[in-house]
Amino acid sequence: MFPLIHSAHDLDDAETKQRKTEIWLREHAETTLMQRQTSRRKTFTEDEHADLDAINRDLASCQRRILWIVSLARRGLSESFQEASELFFQTFCESSTDAKKTRMLMLHRSVMSRLGFHKRRWAGAVAGAENTMHRLEIQRTVLHSLMTQNDSRLNLRMAREQKKLAQTAKRDSDAVRGLTLLGLIFIPGSYIAKLYYPIPSPYPPPPLFIAI
């Protein structure tokens, strides 16, 4: 009976974790839906990227909880308990009186009924866990799609910024090339013009002193 009691406590913990995981998964589904609606806009803030990372971590945490429930060893406990109870009842009936057999039969039926209920509870917990795992996979697929869209949008934004920088650099290069060309044309021309056409000075010439 002690293994059965211990397994019943584990089953209670499994059902509690299953309910909490269902609540978390429902909240995450709503959050992912809001993020999907947000991703249709042209802009995407850093806080929304952080929300996607938080959702991914929460989904991984939910998956760890579900993997604890889906266990082949725990699913086989109820069947092992039933086989052990049947073997004990057969062994007891071989060496007991009819009165003891009657009382043991009543106890055996009660135990088998309890074991059957315990087995069905484990089967329900495992079925719910498998359903939750399927929903988790769907949520992770949607989240991966959102992150891929956001990365693509970020790459497009970076490409646009790089194109703008390239255009600005080209304009600056053209301006510098034009200034250089103007300098090559006008500076030598100004020097030659000064040689052949001297500019008159606005000041009167200095007086000439004749030495005696």
Q: Hey, where are the domains in the chain?
A: 2-157
Q: What pLDDT is recorded for position 42?
A: 44
Q: Rg for the chain (alpha carbons), in Å?
A: 44
Q: What is the pLDDT of residues 115-128, one digit of tens each?
A: 788 778 777 877 88
**Residues with Cβ < 8 Å from 69, sequence gap 6 or more?**
14, 17, 18, 125, 126, 129
- Of the pLDDT bands very low, low, confident and very high (cuts 50, 70, 90), residue 41 is very low
Q: For residues 88 and 71, is the Cβ–Cβ distance under 8 A?
A: no
- Cα 126 from Cα 67, distance rounded (Å): 10
7 closest CA partner among 59, 82, 58, 66: 82
Distances (CA, A) of 42 to 8, 34, 148, 153, 157: 53, 15, 15, 8, 10
Q: What is the pLDDT of residues 4-33, one digit of tens each?
A: 676 777 777 777 877 887 787 777 777 666
Q: What pLDDT is recorded for position 44?
A: 42
Q: Which of 29-43, 90-104, 143-157 has the lowest average pLDDT?
A: 29-43
Higher pLDDT, residue 48 or 154: 154
Q: What pLDDT is recorded for position 74?
A: 63
